[in-house]
A and B are shown apart, each in its own frame.
Chain A
Amino acid sequence: MALNKVGDPIIRVDRLYKTFPNGVNALVNFSGHVHRGEVVVIIGPSGAGKSTFLRCLNGLEEIDSGTIVIDGIPLDEKKKNRLEIRKEVGMVFQQFNLFPHMTVLDNVNLAQIRVRHKSREEATQTSMELLNKVDIADKAAAFPDQLSGGQQQRVAIARALAMMPKVMLFDEATSALDPEMIGEVLDVMKNLAREGMTMVCVTHEMGFAREVSDRVIFMEKGTIVEMGTAEHFFENPAEERTRLFLSQIL
């Protein structure tokens, strides 16, 4: 991916610290930017703080100190700001977390109707377009437990996109899937990346990182060990620790 499609910083985080009650340091002096249209992939061993970082970006986890600014809105105590950020930041979870009591269509409609105050007709139109895009429109009337894991995750992506977010966060979106279903979800994510969506992905899919990411961040013990373009990262990592990690997973 060429870096020239990348715009101004949309996510700015500065000196984030977070320690869990059990004493584990999840984030230690973590700073960085994500630019508009950029696809950032965060990799690292488990317990490195990757998911915690992602979850801090929309306020699912609280930081102990530091600042997070998303599209000019500071993520602070103000409920209004937090709500605004949650509207603009879409998130896809490892466990899909679809609403089991609603059809696929209603899952995608819900936030459009309740948060964006669209009419049901308008919302349904958008939802069907998105479900088409993730290639699952034929299951619009089905309930989540009638779908395979891969299908559920694609619905979850459509649901997050329905809010027309400026940023999409993917928290190990393929880790809970059977191997034969990983491809269909990654394809959706790749298409999204090509369309210029700003994405921050925590993943173990190195192929995906190599193919679509503008930048790869290697994290360990709550801090950035190494950061660079996919090419630099996979061909010529500078840090010994990065090389060791890559040799273990590739």
Chain B
Amino acid sequence: MNRKLKITTLDVVILTLLLALAAYVVYRLTMQLNYKWNWGILPQYFFYIDEETGRWVANILVKGLWTTIRLSFWATLLAIVFGVVTGLMRISKRLFWRLIGASYVELIRNMPPLVLVFIFYFFVSDQIMPLLGVEDFVRSRPDNVKNLLTFLFASPQQFTAFTSGAITVAVFQGAYITEIVRAGIQSIEKGQWEASYALGLTWGQQMRWVILPQAVKRVLPPLTNEFINTIKYSAIVSVISIQELTFQGMQIMASTYVTIEVWITITAIYLLICFSLSMGVRKLEVHLARSEA
């Protein structure tokens, strides 16, 4: 990986042009734009000093970020479950399972995610969740359980919306992960199946110990893509009033009108979490590669 950095004339020209363009944009924004910058108003939306206790308290941007992280976490976890289960269906010997898997993937893939969010919100969240008594169940828990559930998922009044939001994103992302899982498993050489079969491993054991460990390693880069997409798609559930980062951004914008600052900040936060995630997975990839010679 020790490539030498060589700078050619073309690189210099392109870099100069890019810098010039950036300078021009900044110039237009600061000097020419009919816009009053007001960055000073933003920090208080991260943290503010509570007047009663005199302590620093997290404000809606930090809370929104935390909700985005929780939402993405559960959605990713669930999407992996959906993806692996239907991925296995897709490679099943039985036509029945293959059809179910294919229908799921095709249905989701050919549908705008926003529409899916509405379907889930108005059918699942509005009809099925009350039927299951999810919210009553959460509300009737003792306080410590309730606090834990609030910490891990959402407050009782937000619980149904949060879970249906997480499920929506998971269902959506699951379809893409399904295809990655299928491709990963099918990329494993036939000999690996045969050798583990001949040793007397059951199908489940073959999958668990021989096929999936190798497949996961191969599909980690495209899988990372989907993990990042999960975070990005979590923004879409702001339309069903889940108070995640994008929703909070809209709230601040509505009350302060500092539009550009808010969205630059929100962008920076998304960039930061998505970028750290991909760096993290990159590290994992290197680690996995090292574990095999």
Contacts and interface: CB of A to CB of B under 8 A. Distances in A.
B193 to A, nearest CB: 9
A143 B293 contact: yes
A100 B209 CA distance: 12
A199 interface: no
Interface string A53-97: 000001110000000000000000000000100110111010101
A59 B291 CA distance: 34
A159 B196 CA distance: 10
Given A145-B292, A146-B293, A97 B201 contact: no
Contacts of A59: 197
Interface in A134-174: 143, 145-146, 156, 159-160, 163
Contact of B214 (A90, A100, A163): A100
Interface of B: 189, 191-192, 194-202, 205, 209-210, 213-214, 217, 291-293
A201 to B, nearest CB: 15
26 contacts: A60-B197, A60-B198, A83-B200, A89-B198, A91-B194, A91-B195, A91-B198, A93-B194, A95-B191, A97-B194, A99-B195, A99-B210, A100-B214, A101-B217, A101-B291, A110-B199, A110-B201, A111-B200, A114-B201, A114-B205, A115-B200, A143-B292, A146-B293, A159-B195, A163-B199, A163-B200
Contact of A87 (B200, B210, B213, B292): B200
Contacts of B214: 99-101
Contact of B201 (A60, A100, A111): A111
A100 B196 CA distance: 12
Contacts of B199: 86, 110-111, 115, 159-160, 163
Interface residues of A, number: 27
A72 B194 CA distance: 23
Contacts of A163: 199-200
Chain B: interface secondary structure? helix
B286 to A, nearest CB: 15
Given A60-B194, A86-B200, A160-B199, A100 B205 contact: no
A193 interface: no
Nearest to B214: A101
Given A93-B191, A114-B205, A145-B292, A86 B197 contact: yes
A98 interface: yes
Contacts of B198: 58, 60, 86, 89-91, 160
Nearest to A85: B200
Interface of A: 58-60, 83, 86-87, 89-91, 93, 95, 97-101, 110-111, 114-115, 143, 145-146, 156, 159-160, 163
A115 B292 contact: no
A115 B201 contact: yes
Contacts of A156: 195
A160 B198 CA distance: 8
A143 B291 CA distance: 9
Contacts of A99: 192, 195-196, 210, 214
- Closest 3 pairs between A and B when the two form their complex, measured CB to CB: A97-B195, A97-B191, A91-B198
B289 to A, nearest CB: 11
Contact of A101 (B189, B191, B194, B213): B213
Nearest to B199: A111
A97 B200 contact: no
A114 B209 contact: yes
A91 B201 CA distance: 13
A105 to B, nearest CB: 14
Nearest to A142: B293
The CB with the most chain A CB atoms within 10 A, among B191, B196, B199, is that of B199
A98 B292 CA distance: 13
Contacts of B197: 58-60, 86
B196 to A, nearest CB: 8
B206 to A, nearest CB: 10
A146 B290 CA distance: 13
Contacts of A145: 292-293
Contacts of B201: 110-111, 114-115
A100 B195 contact: no
A99 to B, nearest CB: 6
Contacts of A111: 199-201
A127 to B, nearest CB: 13
A94 B196 CA distance: 15
Contacts of A98: 195
A43 B182 CA distance: 39
Given A90-B198, A110-B210, 7 more contacts: A114-B209, A115-B205, A143-B292, A146-B293, A159-B195, A159-B199, A163-B199
Nearest to A91: B198
A97 B201 CA distance: 15
A99 B207 CA distance: 12
The CB with the most chain B CB atoms within 10 A, among A60, A87, A100, A145, is that of A100
B192 A97 contact: yes
